[in-house]
Amino acid sequence: MRIHTAGHILDYAVNEVLGGEFETLSASHSAENAYVEYIIPPSLKLDLRSLEAKANEVAKSCLQVRVVFAESNDIHEVLKNAPNLRRLPNLTEYRIVVIDKVNSIPCSGTHVANTCEIGEIKVLKSNETPGGVAIYYDVYP
C-alpha cells in the first residue's frame, strides 16, 4: 500500500520537477522492485534528488488519500493530473484514487489513508529504456 501510493506521488513529482505532463509506459509497485517508467524525452535531464525532495514534500504533508467512483461521462470532472487517459478501458464506472491537492488517478490498487503513512520516499536510480526512463524507488522505514 505504501509503495503504491508513493508511485502516485512520484507521478506528481515528475510532472512538477520537469514542468509538463508525462505519460507512463509501465509500472511495478512491488516491494522488491518498485519503478515507474515514463515517456520522457532524452533532452530533459532528470534530477533525482529534486524528484525525491518533491515526492517527500507531498508525503510529509499528511494529505488524505481516498477512493471515489465516477461514471464514465463524469470522469473528467473528478480526474486531476492523471496520466494515460487514452489507455483507459471502456467502462461504465471508474474507481479513482484521490490524493488531496495532488492527483486523482483511475486505479484498482490498495493505498494508505493518509500520505503520512508512507514514510520517506527514496528515489534509488533511473535507467533509460527504449521508450523513456524507468525511475526506481522505495519507501522507508
pLDDT single digits (tens) 12-38: 999 999 999 999 999 999 999 999 999
Judged by DSSP in three states, 19 sits in coil
CATH superfamily of 2-140: Threonyl-trna Synthetase; Chain A, domain 2 (3.30.980.10)
Domain ranges of the chain: 2-140
pLDDT single digits (tens) 37-91: 999 998 898 999 999 999 999 999 999 999 999 999 999 999 999 988 888 999 9
pTM of the model: 0.96
pLDDT single digits (tens) 98-110: 999 999 999 999 9
Judged by DSSP in three states, 137 sits in strand
The pLDDT, as a whole number, for residue 86 is: 85
